[in-house]
Structure formats: structure tokens, C-alpha cells
């Protein structure tokens, strides 16, 4: 199923927030038809990596290629071309609160295509059926439960039939049953619609269930990228800490500690 | 040493921040005009229905409160001018004094302050909360430029509706002044109004309109740019809303003074 054509190619990506280095020399490739899970604890840099992949941040250095286009140097038309072929489901859903669920799902079709209104309505209802939200198009986002919001956001993300789907924290804030249903849905999407899917999560269970390959990110570095089994049995201590929910032991640098306590503008390390 | 460098440092920071804010607002204006002119060719058209929707929210919905305020301001001006001018036995000048001060000054100013409080703050709150809940990011990744979808319609609606509201406020304020001062001046309200129309020049109304266009740009750019720069959750949205109203009103009053100075030399 996994072909050799990489849809995402990231080389030597660096990201900084002020003086804090968030991503360190990240190389990252995702091939067509793959479900890749980016796993890591809070503050590991996974959200920053995702924002770079989506073109919401420009890389300080390094290159990001989506579908063969270098998005750090793409012009407006090229970028629009890439955006038409990717779908994103954000952590909180990010549905426009002023529009109904149906209008939210139809939004990309209305704004990015010249289809007529009937086709748009049918296509968006079809996608709502795919995520088991058939008949809910008239409701407003505020009337939906957490799980329904995620599914509606997923429907909007896939309404343009993207080649590449990004999913930020699918199970955050959901109960185990709903999050398991969402995992099933992701697997079904890959099989039925042949999408390449990148999921960012810190939930181990769902990561192991849906992933073909897993990238483990820790403190801005990629620890390993491999199949589920190999990640499970990795020798790396930090990966095992993450898998076994062990608290990290961070070594204390006495000098830096004193500097942080006493100086006004000491740089965070 | 610290005693000198620290205030300098914070002054420098504040200067840079306000420069960056001005730059951001100017960029929003240029981009919005760009989207209106060439957006349809680039796949980023400014939708006419959303401009109309904003025009309804900014203009039509503000009609009752504008009418009420303008009426009160007109009556107030009538009271003041009748009292002040009769001290010199110059009651006959009340009509022209009210007519000029309403059309050149008060109509535009009161309308702008009202719209800044009503719609400038609403823009900042709406865009700010969309920013916080990643809706702005969602628009961007769909391929919808947030400036063309959120900023441009509001800017153009404001540019059309604020002058229209100003004309409306002028008329109501003069009507209010007529209702109060006509009996005091021993004329009928009808005669008062027809005398007003005879005395007013297009230049008087033009002065108010020119101001209202500038006010419209100030209110919308300040509201939109503070909205886009919101960070820090619900508290940030609240701060941005307050900030947009305070900033807009300050800029409106200063711009009004500068305008009055140059137009009346």
C-alpha cells in the first residue's frame, strides 16, 4: 500500500520562538497512502511542526515540500494549489461559529470552486454522512457535542477530497468510546478515499491503533520514525518513558538554575 | 546604569510596537483594496453579499440609536446657541450656527464615536475570538485569505455606511434643533428648516463627509488589526475589544481636530 512517492518532505527544519529553539534539525518524510502519527509529550514541538507543515509559519531555515511544492518559497497561486489538496481538522474543530454545520462543511466548496449550489449542498451532505452526522446540517456549532464538533470538522476537512489530511489531536477531550469511533473513521477514510493522513497526538492507544508508522518527537528532536512494532520495542529510554508514562528525569544544571533565579533576562534553555 | 537603560529600552519597545501596529493596519488597507480590485482573478474575490451583510450590521442596525443621539445633540445645540446668542441679541444667528456646527463637526463626530463603540468593538471581538479558536487558521488552510474574507467586507461596508449615517445624523440633529429653537425664535419649524437649507453650502456637508470617510478607515482598521493580533484566550479578546474602542475614539478626536484646523484656515 505504501508507495515510494513522498507527499511531505521536510529537510533540516528549524523553528524558534524568540530565543527558544522549538525544532532542531527535523527531517521528516511521509509517503502516499500512509497513516503517519506524530507522537510526543506536551512541549515536544509537535504542534509547531504541524503549523509549519500547514504553511501557517514560515521556516526559519530548512525546507518543507508538500506535494512537491516548496511552501517556504511558493507564490500565492502555487500555495493556493497546495491548499486545495490538503484538509485539516483542528484540535478544537475551528468551525466558524456564525455558520451552521452544513454551511461550515460547504465553505471550502463555495469559496474555492465554481460548483452550483445544488451540487455543493449534495456534496457537503454526503461528507456529513461519511462522518455519521447525516441530517445535522441545520444545527449551529454551539449546539454540538465535543465528538460531533470533531466529526463535523473532519467532514469540512475532507469535503474537497484532499490527497493529504492533517488531524490535530483527534481524541483530545473525548471519552474513550467516541475517540475509538473516531479512530475507526480515520482508518475508513484512508481505505475508502485513499488519503494520506498525518495525525498529531499524545494518546498512545489511538496512535498504535491507527498508525502505519510513528514519528516520536521529544524536545524538538525526532527520536525515531518507524513502524508501530519497532517503536513499541525501541531501546531508547525517552521513548520508553513516553510509552510507559514514566515521569521524566531532567538533569539539573546548577549554574543555569542559579542564573534563572537571580537574573532578570536570562534566556530559557 | 540600569536606571537610564531600562526606561530607554521600554520606550524603544513601545515605539517599535506602535510602528508595527501602524504597519499592520496599513497592510490590511492595501491588501483589502488589492483583493477588491484583483481578487476575483486570483481566486480570492470579496463577496458582495458579505459586504451587504456587514452594511446591515454597521449601518442599518445603528439607525435607531443614531437617530436618538443626533436628536438629543440637536436639541442640546439649540438650547446652547439660543441661550448664548440671545445675550448679544443675535438670536437670528442661531440657525446658521446650528447648521454649520452640526454638518461640519457634530454629525460626523457623534456618528463615528457611536459606530466605534458599536461596530469597531464588535469587529475586534469577532475576529479576536475567531483567532483564539483557530478559526482564522482554519480559513487560511482552506485557502481563504482571512483578510479578504473577514477584513475587506467590513472595511468597505464601513466606508459606505459611515458617511451615509453621518448625513442621516445631520438631518435628524437639525430637525431636533428646529423643534426646540423655532418657538424660541418665533418661527415655525418648517421655516427654520428651509432657512437652514438656504444657508448651508455643499462645502459644509462635504467637510463632514470627508471626515467620516477618514473615521471609517480608522475605526475599521483599528478594530480589525487589534482583532487579528489577539493572543491569550478570552481575556485577550476582552482586552482587544476595550483597546479598539479607546484607540478608535482617541484617533477620531485627534483626526477631527487636525481636519478642522486645515479645512477652516
Please report which residue ranges of B147-232 form alpha helices under DSSP H: 152-185, 189-199, 202-228
Residue B173 has pLDDT above 50, yes or no: yes
pLDDT for the residue numbered A4: 58
**Cβ of residue A94 closer than 8 Å to a chain B Cβ:** yes
Inform me whether the C-beta atom of residue A54 falls under 8 Å from chain B C-beta atoms: yes
Residue-wise pLDDT for B4-36, tens only, equals: 888 999 999 999 998 999 999 999 999 999 999
Residue B159's Cα: distance from chain center in Å? 9
Q: Do A97 and B135 touch (CB under 8 A)?
A: yes
Q: Which of B130, B134, B143 sits opposite A84 (nearest CB)?
A: B143
pLDDT score at A268:
56
| Contacts for B96 with CB less than 8 Å, ≥ 6 apart | B199
Query: Predicted confidence band at B221 (pLDDT cuts at 50, 70, 90)?
Result: very high
Task: Name the residue of chain B whose CA is nearest to A110's CA.
Answer: B144
Residue of B nearest to A95 (CA): B135
Backbone CA torsion sign across A183, A185, A188, A189: negative
What is the per-residue pLDDT for A173?
Answer: 79
Tell the residue number behind the cell numbers 481538522, with chain if given: A89
Contacts of residue A127, Cβ cutoff 8 Å, sequence gap at least 6: A105, A155, A156, A158, A159
CB nearest B138 (choices: A80, A84, A94)? A94
CB contact under 8 A, B142 and A112: yes
What are the residues facing A16 on neighbouring strands? Answer: A21
Asked whether B125 and B240 are in contact (CB, 8 A), the reply is yes
Mean pLDDT on B77-105? 91
Residues in contact with B6: Cβ distance below 8 Å, sequence separation at least 6, in sequence order? none
Strands A86-89 and A69-70, by their bridges, are unpaired
Cα A254 from Cα A257, distance rounded (Å): 5
Q: What are the pLDDT digits (tens) for A141-172?
A: 999 998 899 999 999 999 999 999 999 988 88
Contact call for B142 and A94, based on CB within 8 A: no
Q: What is the DSSP track for A161-179?
A: --SEEEEE-TTTT--HHHH
- Is residue B35 within 8 A of residue B44, CB to CB? The reply is yes
β-sheet with A164-168: strand ranges across = A86-89, A164-168, A196-201, A35-39, A213-218, A221-227
- pTM for the model stands at 0.88
B189-194 LR contacts (CB < 8 Å, sep 24+) = B192/B95
Distance of residue B142 Cα from the nearest chain A Cα, in angstroms:
6
What share of chain B in percent tops pLDDT 90?
86
CA–CA distance, B47 with B123 (Å, rounded to integer): 18
DSSP annotation of A246: P
Q: What is the mean pLDDT of residues B95-102?
A: 94
> pLDDT of B187-203, one tens digit each?
999 999 999 999 999 99
Under 8 Å between Cβ of B75 and B68: no
Confidence of residue B91 (pLDDT cuts 50, 70, 90): confident
Mean pLDDT to the nearest integer, B88-92: 84
- CB B51 within 8 Å of CB B148: no
Spans of chain A below 70 pLDDT: 1-4, 249, 265-269
CA dist B142 and B136 (Å) reads: 10
- pLDDT at res. B247: 95
Amino acid at each position: 500500500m505504501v508507495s515510494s512517492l513522498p507527499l511531505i518532505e521536510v529537510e533540516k527544519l528549524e523553528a524558534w520562538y524568540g530565543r527558544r529553539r522549538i525544532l532542531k534539525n527535523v527531517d521528516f518524510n511521509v509517503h502516499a497512502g500512509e497513516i503517519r502519527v506524530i507522537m510526543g509529550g506536551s512541549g515536544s514541538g509537535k504542534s509547531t511542526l504541524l503549523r509549519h507543515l500547514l504553511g501557517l509559519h514560515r521556516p526559519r531555515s530548512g525546507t518543507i515540500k508538500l506535494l512537491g511544492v516548496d511552501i517556504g518559497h511558493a507564490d500565492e497561486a502555487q500555495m493556493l494549489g497546495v491548499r486545495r489538496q490538503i484538509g485539516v481538522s483542528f484540535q478544537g474543530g475551528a468551525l466558524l461559529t456564525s455558520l451552521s454545520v452544513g454551511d461550515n462543511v460547504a465553505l471550502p466548496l463555495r469559496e474555492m470552486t465554481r460548483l452550483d449550489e445544488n451540487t455543493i449542498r449534495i456534496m457537503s451532505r454526503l461528507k456529513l454522512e461519511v462522518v455519521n452526522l447525516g441530517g445535522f446540517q441545520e444545527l449551529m456549532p454551539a449546539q454540538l457535542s465535543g465528538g460531533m464538533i470533531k466529526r463535523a470538522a473532519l467532514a469540512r476537512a475532507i469535503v474537497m477530497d484532499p490527497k493529504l489530511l492533517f488531524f490535530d489531536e483527534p481524541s483530545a477531550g473525548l471519552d474513550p468510546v467516541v475517540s475509538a469511533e473516531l479512530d475507526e473513521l480515520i482508518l475508513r477514510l484512508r481505505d475508502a478515499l485513499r488519503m494520506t493522513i498525518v495525525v498529531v497526538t499524545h494518546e498512545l492507544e489511538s496512535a498504535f491503533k491507527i498508525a502505519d508508522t510513528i514519528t516520536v518527537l521529544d524536545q524538538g528532536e525526532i527520536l525515531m520514525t518507524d513502524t508501530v512494532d519497532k517503536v513499541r520495542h525501541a531501546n531508547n529510554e525517552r521513548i520508553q518513558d513516553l510509552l510507559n508514562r514514566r515521569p521524566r528525569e531532567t538533569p539539573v544544571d546548577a549554574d543555569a538554575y542559579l542564573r534563572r533565579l537571580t537574573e532578570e533576562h536570562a534566556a530559557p534553555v | 546604569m540600569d536606571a537610564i537603560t531600562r526606561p530607554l529600552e521600554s520606550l524603544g519597545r513601545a515605539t517599535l510596537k506602535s510602528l508595527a501596529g501602524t504597519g499592520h493596519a496599513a497592510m490590511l488597507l492595501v491588501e483589502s483594496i488589492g483583493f477588491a480590485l484583483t481578487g476575483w482573478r486570483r481566486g480570492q474575490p470579496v463577496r458582495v453579499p458579505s459586504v451587504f451583510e456587514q452594511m446591515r450590521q454597521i449601518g442599518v442596525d445603528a439607525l435607531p440609536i443614531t437617530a436618538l443621539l443626533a436628536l438629543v445633540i440637536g436639541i442640546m445645540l439649540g438650547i446652547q446657541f439660543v441661550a448664548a446668542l440671545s445675550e448679544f441679541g443675535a438670536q437670528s444667528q442661531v440657525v446658521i450656527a446650528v447648521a454649520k456646527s452640526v454638518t461640519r463637526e457634530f454629525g460626523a463626530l457623534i456618528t463615528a464615536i457611536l459606530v466605534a463603540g458599536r461596530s469597531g468593538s464588535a469587529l475586534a471581538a469577532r475576529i479576536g475570538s475567531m483567532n483564539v479558536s483557530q478559526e482564522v487558521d482554519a480559513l487560511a488552510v482552506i485557502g481563504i485569505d482571512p483578510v479578504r474574507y473577514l477584513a475587506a467586507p467590513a472595511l468597505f461596508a464601513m466606508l459606505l455606511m459611515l458617511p451615509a449615517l453621518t448625513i442621516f445624523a445631520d438631518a435628524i440633529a437639525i430637525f431636533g434643533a428646529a423643534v426646540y429653537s423655532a418657538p424660541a425664535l418665533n418661527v415655525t419649524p418648517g421655516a427654520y428648516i428651509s432657512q437652514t437649507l438656504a444657508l448651508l453650502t455643499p462645502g459644509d456637508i462635504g467637510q463632514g463627509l470627508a471626515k467620516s470617510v477618514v473615521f471609517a478607515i480608522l475605526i475599521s482598521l483599528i478594530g480589525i488589526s487589534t482583532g487579528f493580533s489577539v493572543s491569550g484566550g478570552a481575556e485577550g479578546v476582552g482586552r482587544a475589544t476595550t483597546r479598539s474602542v479607546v484607540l478608535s475614539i482617541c484617533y477620531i478626536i485627534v483626526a477631527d481636530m487636525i481636519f478642522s484646523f486645515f479645512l477652516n484656515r
